[in-house]
Amino acid sequence: MFKLNNKVAVVTGASRGIGKGIAETFAKAGAHVVCVSRSENVLKSVADAINGSGGSASVYACDVSDLNAYQDMIKDTVANHGSVDILVNNAGITRDTLIMRMSEEDWQTVIDINLKGAFNGIKAVTRVMMKQRAGRIINITSVVGLTGNPGQANYAASKAGLIGLSKATAKELASRGITVNSIAPGYIATDMTDAMTDQAKETLNSQIPLGRIGSPDDIAAAALFLASDEAGYITGQTITVDGGMVMI
């Protein structure tokens, strides 16, 4: 499989779900993984498990929507681990409701975490990666950012915005050896999707040609490939990992 030996990876939203899966997979591939979210104690148990099974991980509590906090986290990571080679902007939330009922706060909070959080991350690592003349940035968007979804105007806008952010920064940073790509997961079994009604889950399930719900490992495998040296000629792309749910 693809190797990440001697690489330092920052993975946001690593306390559970897809981010935790990516952190574990990157550590297995040889990277030191800085696990980031707002919950230090939960992150510690993720990092302890990685360190206990022969990998290397540390934790950093940070709200990705806060640019100053994000910049401090990247500065500390470089001071403690020497570099940031890979950034995975995975932290995300939903605040689902129909547009008629959506409050300004529901809108803004989702945009601040899902989209501005990734902007903060890219801004914070760009100088470090430009100096290294190498880097991998992976943004976790969603199939909903490609298709739209009723009840998710805020979330779909944030995820479509992430795709535009990835493409623009891919073009800006390519000459410095930095690639920027997105992964668009479909229906993945995590706490986020556990909150859906049984009927919504059944409807989604019936739309998956490969006949199963995805797992965090399915997304982690795509992230590992995009983070690897072997993916060095791929930038500005969105890889959909959804069991065939959305084919464009």
On whether the CB atoms of residues 166 and 238 are closer than 8 A, the answer is yes
Residue 211: count of CB within 10 angstroms of its CB: 9
50 sits near ligand NAP (criterion: CB under 6 A): no
Stretch that binds ligand NAP, among 24-32, 72-80, 185-193, 222-230 (CB under 6 A): 185-193
- Output b/e per residue, 109-128; b: 16+ Cβ within 10 A: ebbbbbbbbbbbbbebbbeb
| Chain residues 67-106 in contact with ligand NAP, contact rule CB under 6 A | 90-93
Minimum CB–partner distance for residue 131 and ligand NAP (Å):
26
138 sits near ligand NAP (criterion: CB under 6 A): no
Task: State CA 146 to chain mean position distance.
Answer: 16
Residue from 22, 110, 187, 227 in contact with ligand NAP (CB under 6 A): 187
Residue from 49, 102, 111, 192 in contact with ligand NAP (CB under 6 A): 192
Rounded Cα distance, 18 and 150, in Å: 23
Contacts of 159 (CB under 8 A, 6+ apart): 114, 141, 142, 144, 145, 184
Would you call 187 a catalytic residue per the annotation? no
Beta carbon nearer to ligand NAP, 48 or 230: 48
Residue from 31, 33, 37, 86 in contact with ligand NAP (CB under 6 A): 37
- Comparing CA positions, the residue from 176, 164, 160, 161 lying closest to residue 125 is 176
64 sits near ligand NAP (criterion: CB under 6 A): yes
Residues in the chain: 248
38 sits near ligand NAP (criterion: CB under 6 A): yes
Q: Which amino acid is at 209?
A: P
19 sits near ligand NAP (criterion: CB under 6 A): yes
| Chain residues 116-135 in contact with ligand NAP, contact rule CB under 6 A | none
23 sits near ligand NAP (criterion: CB under 6 A): no
On whether the CB atoms of residues 129 and 175 are closer than 8 A, the answer is no
The binding site for ligand NAP (CB under 6 A) comprises: 12-13, 15-19, 37-39, 42, 63-65, 90-93, 113, 140, 142, 185, 187-188, 190-193
Q: Which residues are catalytic?
A: 155
